[in-house]
Amino acid sequence: MEAKPEGNILQSWKFNPTTIENMTIPIEYLGRDDERIMKECEYMKRHCLSVPKNLGEKAVTASIKLEILDRDYQISRKKGEIFLPLFRKPTQEETRRLRSELTAFKLTEELFKREPKQKSTVRQILKEMVPPKLLEEIPKSMPTVGDIAIIEISNELSSYDKQIGKAILMANPSLKTVLKKAGSVHGTHRIRDFEIIAGESRTVTIHREYGCILNVDLSKVYFNPRLAYERNRVSRLVEKRETILDMFAGVGPFSIQIARRNETIKIFAVDINPVAIEYLNRNIEENRMKDRIVAIEGDVENIVQQRFEGKIDRVLMNLPGNSVRYIGTACKALKRRGGKIHYYQFAEGSDALEVAEQTFKRAVEKAGRKLEGITTIRRVTATAPREWQIGIDARVS
């Protein structure tokens, strides 16, 4: 008789959870301690139906019909064979029926990995805490910035905000803080007030999008994670050796995305908020963009008049609440032969696109420039029922 290896099975058989599905360990070598360790590793000994790979589908169907397939564990594969976990050893009658369905099979015992438990949703976690009618008002999705979630909670739900915050963290282990919106964006610096309802007491985080690192303090600067795709889209439109003006740069998400794609451009990123400029400079350094982006603190109208009249190829105008006021400034910044403008504004109703287009066209003409054409006009993101942030890509001469 072959001697059993001494010591713990994990040592004697060099157990490796990353390759366990490609191993077979004799059942008689598994002691109580070993089984406990296997359970902690989410691998368990189960009765097994093994078949050649080409019979895998038939075997699954047959074991389901017999109600012996254990769905709590994962089916495994190795060396041309399929291994199905079973609740129990098949009876003689069940074995006979398997023979009638399968031309080749074995009944053994193997180690199987548990199926991962389905992730609970926020609403599932809160089901016993919040009345059903109010439960439906909890948003199914919410923006996240780094490891911070941001949620808008209605007045009716405000008495449950702490429970909601804790549920969000339970359902999303990678998140560390939950902020509740405590007002709308306001002031020259475009700041929003927040209340911390769960997790770590902070508003500072590191956000990553499309390979860019963005340090943000959500209580002191404006940042919209929902514009990640839009920033990436615009970055793909930029051509080599362009000079770009980012009029309302914030912490630099547009500028850094563009600079990451093109080493030959020069971007002047302006913001009136000194804290935003502080974070912008940090982000420029961490993304190694010092040779491509220049951060400038101040009022963009004054800065264009002093430094950039007639020197810019492309202008970014991400100030949707008040950008129309600065179209004249953007037109002054463009070179005499013209250039490109990326313009954003809020608009509502079924004619939102037409309203935004006409607003932009009138302002360009008032500035003494000509709208050569609009290459793209689109609803970038919804901001309220029947209200959107509209984006326009335009050629101006």
Over residues 74-81, the mean pLDDT reads 90
Is residue 168 classed exposed, middle or buried when 0-12, 13-18 and 19+ CB atoms within 10 A define those classes? buried
Helices (H), 144-199: 161-171
Q: Is 28 helix (H, G, I), strand (E, B) or coil?
A: helix
Residue 25 predicted with pLDDT over 90: no
Quick one: pLDDT at residue 37?
A: 45
- SS3 of 215, please? strand
Q: Which residues, listed in sequence order, are joined to residue 162 by a DSSP beta bridge? A: none
Average pLDDT over residues 121-126: 91
Does residue 23 carry a pLDDT above 50? Answer: no
pLDDT at 15: 39
Q: Is pLDDT at 27 greater than 60 in this prediction?
A: no
Other C-beta atoms closer than 10 Å to the C-beta of 224 total: 20
- Bridge partners of 341, per DSSP, are 315, 394
Mean pLDDT, to the nearest integer, of 324-340?
Answer: 98
Whether the Cβ atoms of residue 8 and residue 33 lie closer than 8 Å to each other: yes
Fold annotation for 222-396: Rossmann fold (3.40.50)
- The domain 9-113: what is its CATH number? 3.30.70.2580
Q: Give 211-238 pLDDT, tens digit per residue.
A: 999 999 999 999 999 999 999 999 999 9
Q: pLDDT tens digits, residue range 154-185?
A: 999 999 999 999 999 999 989 999 999 999 89
The domain locations on the chain are: 9-113, 122-202, 222-396
Residue 14 or 339, more confident: 339
Judge whether residue 13 has pLDDT over 50. no
CATH topology of domain 122-202: GMP Synthetase; Chain A, domain 3 (3.30.300)
pLDDT in tens, 30-74: 444 444 444 445 788 899 999 999 898 899 989 988 989 998 889
In which order are the strands placed within the sheet that holds 81-86? 76-78, 81-86, 43-52, 106-113
- Grouping H, G, I as helix, E, B as strand and the rest as coil, residue 113 is strand
Helix (H, G, I), strand (E, B) or coil at 68: coil
Question: Three-class SS of residue 70?
Answer: coil
Question: From CA 213, how far away is CA 208, in angstroms rounded?
Answer: 5
